[in-house]
Amino acid sequence: MDFSCIPDVNYFDSPQFLAISMHIVTVIVTPFHFLGLYCVLYETPRQMKGVKWYLLNLHVSVMLFDYSVTLLTIPFLLATKLAGFSLGLAKYLSVPFIVPALTAVYCFGLMFIAIVVIFENRFRVICTFSWKPKWESFKSMFMPFHYFIYTFMFSIIFFLVPDQKSALQQVFQTFPCLPREIYEAPVYVIADDVTFPVIVIFLGVVAVTVEILFYLMYLIWNSIKQLKENKMSQKTFQLQKQFLFAIIVQSSVQMICFIIPLLTFWFAFLEGYYNQGLVNFQFIIASLHGIVSTLAMLLLHKPYRAAVARIFWRSMRLQPQTTQISVISGKRSGTVLL
């Protein structure tokens, strides 16, 4: 660590920029989160009763991930290496960076398990197949099985933590001149070899993608088949199609907020490219997924869209209005504003 060097950095590379940006995102997204929570809990119609708690599970997992990143952790990550420190509430809890960082990553996985569970529910309820009784007996273990496997694979990362003194020396040697505040920060190295974490993330993404595609393709094929055989009404078919479309779009817009940061990190890792300002912006982009996901849910599901319109229309009507009353007394007249 050379404290005498002059770093080539600007404000966008600084921890202060990242922290302030995350605080702003938290303030903006919180009203939308609680509006979405209200709509799911109190505005879900009877026709959607079967998916209400699955939608709630997804929305709560989105909120948990959002706040784990923008409030608890605010990770200042040194790109190309799994090292960094916290700028969020975890900084005041005196816990190693690995705890809030992996909490955020764990919540990230919970979101996608919640999406899988929604598709599995629709698959189990709507589709007809010969082995459905066996699948019904398995449903009580479906969510616990996913959470167990994910937690087990995830917990192994804790055993990969290297000796911090030697790991920090190696990490700082790979970077150009850094600001003094970075050298003096409580930088924590989660893993000196990123192979296993990358494999775990890759296998998790592949498993979730395969599951979702299987449920989705079978749902489409089986629903059309039932419609042709008059086992499903046109109205039911349209309702299911609208719901699936809403969930697909909501899931897709979530992924868009992650694709760019993930591709950027992957490129930086392969090329050994370090640009802290770019890393900060990628975290800001990823942190916007909560508001994007919530807005998609509120706008794509008709009952929630109607509820939001009704709430805002009511609030507009309750605003104080100025009323003009003409007053005439003898030779003088005037206008009183109320």
What total number of domains does the chain contain?
Answer: 1
Q: What is the pLDDT of residue 280?
A: 92
Bridge pairing between strands 324-329 and 188-191:
unpaired
Average pLDDT over residues 172-193: 86
Q: What is the pLDDT of residue 1?
A: 58
Q: How confident is the model at residue 315 (pLDDT cuts 50, 70, 90)?
A: low
The stretch 134-152 carries a mean pLDDT of 80
What is the CATH classification number for the domain harbouring 204? 1.20.1070.10
Structural domain contains residue 4:
no
pTM: 0.84
Determine, yes or no, domain membership for 248: yes
pLDDT of 330 higher than 70: no
Q: Is residue 271 part of a domain?
A: yes
Q: Write out the residue range of the structural domain in which residue 182 sits.
A: 11-337
Q: Which of the two residues, 197 and 248, has the higher pLDDT score?
A: 248
Mean pLDDT of the chain: 83
**For the residues 188-208, what does the mean pLDDT come to?**
81
289 CB-contact burial (10 Å; exposed 0-12 / middle 13-18 / buried 19+): buried
* pLDDT of 328 higher than 50: no
Is residue 5 situated within a structural domain? no
In a domain, 257, yes or no: yes
* Least trusted range by pLDDT, from 20-24, 51-55, 156-160, 307-311: 156-160
DSSP per-residue letters across 296-321: HHHHHSHHHHHHHHHHHHHHHHTS--
